[in-house]
Copies of this chain bind each other. A is one copy, B any other.
Amino acid sequence: MATGRTHRPATRSRGIPEATVARLPLYLRALTALSERSVPTVSSEELAAAAGVNSAKLRKDFSYLGSYGTRGVGYDVEYLVYQISRELGLTQDWPVVIVGIGNLGAALANYGGFASRGFRVAALIDADPAMAGKPVAGIPVQHTDELEKIIQDEGVSIGVIATPAGAAQQVCERLVAAGVTSILNFAPTVLSVPDGVDVRKVDLSIELQILAFHEQRKAGELAAAGTVVPAVAARQESAAVRRGTAVGQESVADQGPDGDVPAVMPT
């Protein structure tokens, strides 16, 4: 998904592979659901299905955390929930600041995902003086001038950037200077940060472009092999025709040197 990953050195942190870390939240979600249904134990096969991964992969992932399963039985749900939460650092409180309270920033502030799992919205920050004091999701928006003070007072180490692309790098630098060491970036820009600071990027435009690539490929392929097509392909073909696209050859509608600019701008 989206957005993908990012440009972290990906130095295997404490022996746990980066790919495994990225899947732990997935397992945790599936396990939490089981926990609510009071399921006591679960096999790697069942849990893998619920998380949408291969069971061998899941077992190998868990092996990095230690041996928490019982052969012939499976894994203890509650225990595993606790171990993964601890490994991810979710047993402690993580204050988070959101910078840039436009459409996206407001949506994030209202997002239930922040409240759960130990993440707490410590502050909402926007550069527009007119926004100051206005409550969003029950939290009053504060002006950018307060940024440094808030971060230090609340001990914030995680920042979310939801500003326009043009402001992102500057905001990033102020966050880092004030003590933030992890950033979730929604602005469509490459952020440069000093060593020791983690950046993860979420970019809707990029996700859509990747999907478009695969769509185009699907359309082209099935036109080339006009043979026995599955139902999905058949529908896709008719859709392409409806769209007025020459299936199998790119619609080289020379739209000129595509003049649209900063691609995407949250807010």
Question: Footprint of B on A, CB under 8 Å?
Answer: 1-8, 13-14, 21-22, 24-26, 28-30, 32-33, 35-36, 50-53, 78, 81-82, 85-96, 103-104, 106-108, 110-114, 116-119, 155-158, 176, 179, 181-185, 188, 190, 192, 194-218, 230, 232-233, 235-236, 238-240, 242-243, 245, 250-253, 255, 257-266
CB closest chain-B residue, reference A54: B7
Residues of B within 8 A of A192 (CB): 52
**Beyond A4-B5, A53-B7, is A32–B181 a contact (Cβ under 8 Å)?**
no
Q: List 27 A-B contacts (CB under 8 A).
A: A1-B6, A1-B200, A2-B184, A2-B200, A3-B201, A13-B217, A21-B210, A22-B210, A26-B206, A28-B209, A32-B262, A33-B261, A81-B258, A89-B212, A89-B215, A92-B216, A92-B250, A94-B208, A104-B107, A113-B264, A113-B266, A116-B205, A116-B263, A117-B208, A176-B232, A182-B215, A200-B211
Contact B214 A13 (CB under 8 A): yes
Top 10 nearest A-B pairs (CB, nearest first) are: A3-B3, A2-B3, A113-B264, A89-B216, A1-B4, A2-B202, A3-B4, A1-B201, A52-B190, A113-B205
Residue in B22, B36, B90, B252 whose CB lies within 8 Å of A86? B252
Q: Give the distance to chain B from A92, nearest Cβ to Cβ, in Å.
A: 5
Provide the bound-state CA to CA distance between A156 and B24, in Å. 34
Contact indicator A155/B200 (Cβ below 8 Å): no
Question: How many copies are assembled?
Answer: 2
Our pick among B13, B194, B195, B263 for the contact of A32 (Cβ within 8 Å) is B263
Best-buried of A6, A103, A204, A207 by chain B (most CB within 10 Å): A207
In whole angstroms, what is the CA distance A257 to B22 when docked? 22
A119 to B26, CA, bound (A): 30
Cβ B111 vs Cβ A208 within 8 A: no
A68–chain B nearest beta-carbon distance, Å: 15
- Assess the B232–A207 pair: CB atoms within 8 A: no
**Which residue of B25, B93, B215, B264 is within 8 Å of A116 (Cβ)?**
B264
Which residue of the partner chain, among B21, B113, B194, contacts A263 with CB atoms under 8 Å? B113
CB atoms of B92 and A236 under 8 A apart: no
Residues of B within 8 A of A253 (CB): 91-92
The residue of chain B having its C-beta at the shortest distance from the C-beta of A260 within the complex is: B116
Residues of B within 8 A of A96 (CB): 208
CB nearest neighbor in B for A21: B213
Given A1-B3, A2-B5, A181-B218, 17 more pairs with CB closer than 8 A: A2-B184, A2-B203, A25-B206, A26-B190, A28-B209, A32-B258, A85-B258, A89-B250, A90-B209, A92-B251, A113-B205, A117-B263, A155-B239, A196-B233, A198-B211, A198-B215, A202-B204
